[in-house]
Chain A
């Protein structure tokens, strides 16, 4: 098994109990593979479970059921010292780096702290390693003696990246690392992350709301909705021809930076429902324009869009009842989705006008 993925996630579920016996399924039966040097973009609405999935994979939160294999080792079976040692190989970078820094420490100590925890280096070796990661994160050595609050937001994020790579991890969860940054700065950070990956073969799970950032850095895309993965596949394929109605709704909602063109959107009705005590069936059913009776009955089937991967998982799949009828004829399925799409606000305008007349009448 030379081709075993770096990270193998199988049937991972995490439920939180809220209030009196109410259950919130934050991550529901998620299976994913991540290869060395690969980036998986993880997208979905707020509350869809992206962050929880990232934390569960790192065992920052304990899952209820499922397995996580990292470098072939069952992470969930580890305890104590072996788990602690494993942590030097997997890291996380948060949206707001300041939340993870001790504001009274200097940048030099922030970056060297994980090295002191995980390795026994002499003072000169430590110094040398800090300078190395500083350069990898494209940081100016002048920041070393600063406190994190005194440097710019982008530099704070670079410090967080430098700290994350200090122990030479194989895998990093990036939880909205560009979420608070301006466009030009976010492009810079993504450039650093990409270069790091090329040089160090680190695998990323990149969690973000920003679809263009996800597209710029990811090799594969996973789309989550209410704790479930609804579609996973190669990034350009899913962006170009998503098969799940939720994927289509999400990707077609991106506004075009072009005033002369508008785009047909698959519109979902209403809002993301409360994730507490979800009914059985497809989680999108109450909002989906293509909903059928069977969609509310039980869990939707997994439809393989493209072949089987080496580890038994198809490389592109989606979970949808109506799609499963069109498995052999995807063009027909795309045509069906398009029938439900619309462009602009004409209907909205009419609806508002009607509401007003009704009110006045």
Chain B
């Protein structure tokens, strides 16, 4: 159920490079009778990685499901506009959304092998995704393409893995298959829901490094939910902090880590600072100043946030007013 707001102009279609614009998204859980998302907003450019940070129950996963419009039956959308490349997603039929999902935007779920179909090979699950969007292409053609995707994702021996069942894969490998499924049709926008949780740190670094390089290479955007400050700092361009369904702070990553404003963000970062102080004593570590001058900066000057609730503290850096 969608409440239409009167000025239904496709918001943000003029902003250069903007691929997704969400404003005033409110999701209501009918059974629990609470707002899981309360007035969320965001703007994502091509190639940008937006990190949505929050603890469990903060609504970060619900936000992703709201954007791709896959809501539980007991969750109703009270308000909100979602514009993908200037097109209003709320105006699309289920059929049209199905076409969009996979082809234009796709979700990477966590859970490794437990999120794959146990009785189908890894390869055929990727072929399934491809076939649903390209029904006319031959079986052989689709299989070749699936193997190629596995190779690009960084899976060794892709033709062997293609025939492997999920139980034959390690957790890291299964997670890469889930990434491959999402990237099969080269969507422009990926939604990643804490998908490296449960991977060991060495494997997480391997998977994320490769995935991140691939995103940059293809200029693909990613909205990533995480509660890991290391992931936020290392791979995200922009940070949105969410608490109890509300975005409390939204800022470019450098600005966020250097100058957090909201008390909740400061609390999150104080733990990080302690860990960092300890890490600096590790003599064997060689920490290198990162050359951030070459990074593409994503500074959103016109975030669709209600001005009575948010203060602009720096370009693209918004903080929600705190109730005393």
A: residues with CB less than 8 A from B are 45-46, 182-184, 187, 209, 211-212, 215, 236, 239-242, 248-265, 267-268, 270-272, 334, 337-338, 341, 343-345, 348-349, 352-353, 355-356, 359
**Contact A183/B202 with A240-B284, A260-B254 known, Cβ cut-off 8 Å:** no
Which residues of the other chain, B, contact A256 by a CB distance below 8 angstroms? 230, 233-234, 276, 279, 287
- A-B contact list, 5 entries, CB within 8 Å: A184-B267, A255-B205, A257-B232, A263-B286, A349-B217
**Contact A268/B202 with A187-B271, A241-B283 known, Cβ cut-off 8 Å:** yes
Judge whether A261 and B205 touch: CB under 8 Å: no
User: B1 an interface residue at 8 Å Cβ cutoff?
Assistant: no
Number of A-B contacts (CB under 8 A): 138
Judge whether A251 and B288 touch: CB under 8 Å: no
Stretch from B24-32, B66-74, B120-128, B208-216 forming part of the interface with A? B208-216
Q: Which of B55, B172, B213, B227 contacts A271 (CB 8 A)?
A: B172
CB distance from B264 to the nearest CB of A (A): 10
Judge whether B203 and A45 touch: CB under 8 Å: yes
Which residues of the other chain, A, contact B98 by a CB distance below 8 angstroms? none
Which residues of the other chain, A, contact B173 by a CB distance below 8 angstroms? 271
Judge whether A348 and B287 touch: CB under 8 Å: no
Q: Which residue of B lies closest to A261 (CB)?
A: B287
Which residues of the other chain, B, contact A265 by a CB distance below 8 angstroms? 205
Judge whether B288 and A255 touch: CB under 8 Å: no
Judge whether B205 and A211 touch: CB under 8 Å: no
Judge whether A259 and B287 touch: CB under 8 Å: no
- CA gap between A261 and B273 in the complex, in Å: 13
CB distance from B89 to the nearest CB of A (A): 31
Which residues of the other chain, B, contact A209 by a CB distance below 8 angstroms? 200-201
Which residues of the other chain, A, contact B273 by a CB distance below 8 angstroms? 257
- CA gap between A255 and B209 in the complex, in Å: 11
Which residues of the other chain, A, contact B227 by a CB distance below 8 angstroms? 182-183
Judge whether B202 and A259 touch: CB under 8 Å: no
Q: Which residue of A lies closest to B255 (CB)?
A: A259
- CA gap between A250 and B288 in the complex, in Å: 18
Judge whether A255 and B210 touch: CB under 8 Å: no
Within 8 A of A (CB), among B237-275: 253-254, 257, 267-269, 271-273, 275
User: B96 an interface residue at 8 Å Cβ cutoff?
Assistant: no
Judge whether A259 and B230 touch: CB under 8 Å: no
Judge whether B286 and A259 touch: CB under 8 Å: no
